[in-house]
């Protein structure tokens, strides 16, 4: 809740923030793929050119992965100088790994009193603290009430929403609105529950007001974009994602989210530009290649779509969805036999997919194989695809 406000303060739509985000995206992708030396080299270049505490935090994480404890401690401390409180949680983790409970809880307390406060769940799930969980210092730390009633309510509400428990979430929302009427947090929670309940217009209306008052709050902007997309406003969502990226968000996934919006608005060139940038960070990513193929197909370039889908299958040969993507592209190109082969392969891997059965039936029908098509349509219908009923009535009932 408070974290996003602090993080956004360093962005302020600055050029350095955007540059730092690009370095971060690249370094994080390399770190996630285990290329620590490349990640470290990139960050080392970045910290010379860009003054951004997030770069120091990322280098600290890389140093921790390379067991360079002194380097990590130095980076966390330097990050703290640029943005007070930003390195405290990292320092708490490091000293916990060293078994120094007293120093660890000291830094953890500093973190809890800063804008970079972590949730109780995140702290308790952090493996670094397992070494000091049985110490008196750790037990004493948790005797203090670190979270306000509002923070606890919000955490519980977000958990219920993530689990689809909208009834329970609504009950907590009522309590929040009663105790904190008109607060930004209450408005955010109301928007969150509205979106989870399918009330997308209400969600957009609620969250729009507080994003205007808090233009740098990533949490609010992310929810606004999701609500806009859910309310069939991909153009508005793309603008919100652009705002997040321009402010220096290091979340590379925003590129794919914006690309999906661009695809829906018919701006395929922009969509593919975002996807290809994401693929620079994560080559061979399944979701990115799938979205690239769909964007090319939306633009009417079926040959390019087939290239992306075929590359995805090369990278993920055992994924049923990748076969369906390419099968759909062959179906659009009226290449019935190739479509049937891909749908058949997808069903070998995942036989319960009604879309694959239905589309394979359409391809079979266009090849003049009525009996095979009717079998496929019935399979699709039995798996819950209502569109199959019309095809059965028109082609399979004599």
Asked if the structure places residue 386 within a domain, the reply is no
Q: Residue 212 sits in a domain of what CATH number? A: 1.25.40.10
In this structure, is the dihedral angle defined by the CA atoms of residues 193, 195, 201 and 207, taken in order, positive or negative?
positive
pLDDT tens, N- to C-terminus, the chain (398 residues) = 333 333 333 333 343 467 788 999 999 999 999 999 999 999 999 999 899 999 999 999 999 999 999 999 999 999 999 999 999 999 999 999 999 999 999 999 999 999 999 999 999 999 999 999 999 999 999 999 999 999 999 999 999 999 999 999 999 999 999 999 999 999 999 999 999 999 999 999 999 999 988 888 999 999 999 999 999 999 999 999 999 999 999 999 999 999 999 999 999 999 999 999 999 999 999 999 999 999 999 999 999 999 999 999 999 999 999 999 999 999 999 999 999 999 999 999 999 999 999 999 999 999 999 999 999 999 999 999 999 999 999 999 86
Q: What is the DSSP string of 166-181?
A: HHHHHHHHHHHHHHST
Rounded Cα gap, residues 271 and 237, in angstroms: 13
Exposure b/e, 48-62, CB count within 10 A at least 16 = b = eebebbbbbbbbbbb
At 49 the pLDDT is: 87
Residue 264 φ/ψ region, left for φ over 0, alpha for ψ in the -120 to 50 degree band, beta for the rest:
alpha
Q: How many residues does the chain have?
A: 398
Rounded Cα gap, residues 258 and 237, in angstroms: 7
Rounded Cα gap, residues 17 and 371, in angstroms: 61
Helices 336-349 and 320-332, packing angle to 10 deg: 160
Asked if the structure places residue 330 within a domain, the reply is no
Tokens, residue 234:
């991909």
Give yes or no for a contact between 339 and 306, defined as CB atoms under 8 angstroms apart: no
At 317 the pLDDT is: 96
Helix%, strand%, coil% for the chain, nearest 5: 75, 0, 25
Asked if the structure places residue 167 within a domain, the reply is yes
Nearest of 96, 83, 117 to residue 3 by alpha carbon: 117
Tokens, residue 257:
């989210």
Domain enclosing residue 221, as ranges: 147-251
Rounded Cα gap, residues 37 and 19, in angstroms: 21
Asked if the structure places residue 61 within a domain, the reply is no
- How many structural domains compose the chain? 1
Nearest of 101, 53, 50, 92 to residue 73 by alpha carbon: 92
Rounded Cα gap, residues 165 and 162, in angstroms: 8
Rounded Cα gap, residues 395 and 377, in angstroms: 10
* CB-based contacts of 164, cutoff 8 Å, min separation 6: 196
Asked if the structure places residue 240 within a domain, the reply is yes
What are the distances in angstroms from CA 150 to CA 7, 154, 331?
A: 21, 6, 53
* CB-based contacts of 146, cutoff 8 Å, min separation 6: 112, 117, 120
What are the distances in angstroms from CA 156 to CA 115, 127, 149, 161, 179?
A: 20, 22, 11, 9, 15
Task: Indicate the Cα dihedral angle 52, 24, 67, 74, nearest 10°.
Answer: 0
Exposure b/e, 17-37, CB count within 10 A at least 16 = b = bbbbbbbbbbbbbbbeeeebe
Asked if the structure places residue 231 within a domain, the reply is yes
At 90 the pLDDT is: 98
């Amino acid at each position: 809740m408070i974290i996003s406000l602090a993080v956004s303060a360093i962005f302020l739509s600055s050029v350095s923030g955007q540059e730092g985000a690009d370095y971060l995206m690249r370094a994080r992708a390399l770190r996630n793929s285990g290329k620590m030396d490349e990640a470290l080299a990139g960050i080392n270049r970045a910290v010379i050119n860009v003054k951004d505490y997030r770069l120091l935090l990322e280098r600290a994480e890389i140093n921790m992965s390379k067991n360079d404890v002194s380097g990590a401690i130095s980076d966390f401390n330097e990050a703290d100088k640029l943005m007070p409180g930003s390195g405290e949680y990292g320092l708490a983790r490091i000293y916990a790994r060293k078994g120094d409970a007293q120093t660890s809880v000291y830094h953890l307390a500093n973190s809890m009193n800063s804008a970079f406060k972590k949730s109780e769940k995140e702290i308790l799930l952090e493996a670094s603290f397992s070494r000091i969980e049985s110490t008196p210092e750790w037990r004493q730390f948790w005797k203090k009430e670190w979270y306000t009633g509002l923070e606890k309510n919000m955490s519980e509400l977000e958990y219920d929403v993530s689990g689809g428990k909208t009834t329970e979430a609504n009950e907590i929302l009522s309590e929040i609105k009663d105790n904190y009427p008109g607060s930004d947090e209450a408005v955010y929670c109301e928007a969150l529950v509205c979106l989870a309940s399918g009330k997308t217009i209400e969600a957009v209306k609620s969250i729009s007001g507080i994003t205007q008052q808090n233009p740098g709050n990533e949490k609010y902007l992310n929810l606004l974009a999701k609500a806009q997309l859910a309310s069939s406003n991909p153009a508005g969502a793309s603008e919100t994602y652009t705002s997040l990226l321009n402010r220096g968000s290091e979340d590379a996934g925003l590129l794919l989210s914006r690309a999906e919006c661009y695809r829906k608005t018919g701006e395929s060139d922009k969509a593919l530009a975002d996807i290809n940038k994401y693929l620079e960070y994560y080559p061979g990513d399944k979701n990115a290649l799938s979205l690239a193929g769909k964007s090319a197909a939306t633009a009417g370039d079926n040959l390019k779509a087939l290239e992306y889908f075929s590359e995805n299958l090369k990278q993920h040969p055992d994924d049923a969805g990748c076969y369906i993507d390419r099968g759909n592209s062959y179906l659009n190109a009226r290449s019935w036999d190739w479509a049937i082969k891909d749908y058949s392969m997808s069903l070998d891997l995942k036989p319960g997919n009604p879309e694959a059965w239905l589309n394979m039936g359409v391809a079979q029908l266009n090849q003049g194989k009525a009996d095979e098509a009717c079998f496929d349509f019935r399979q699709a219908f039995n798996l819950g695809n209502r569109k199959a009923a019309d095809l059965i009535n028109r082609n399979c009932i004599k």
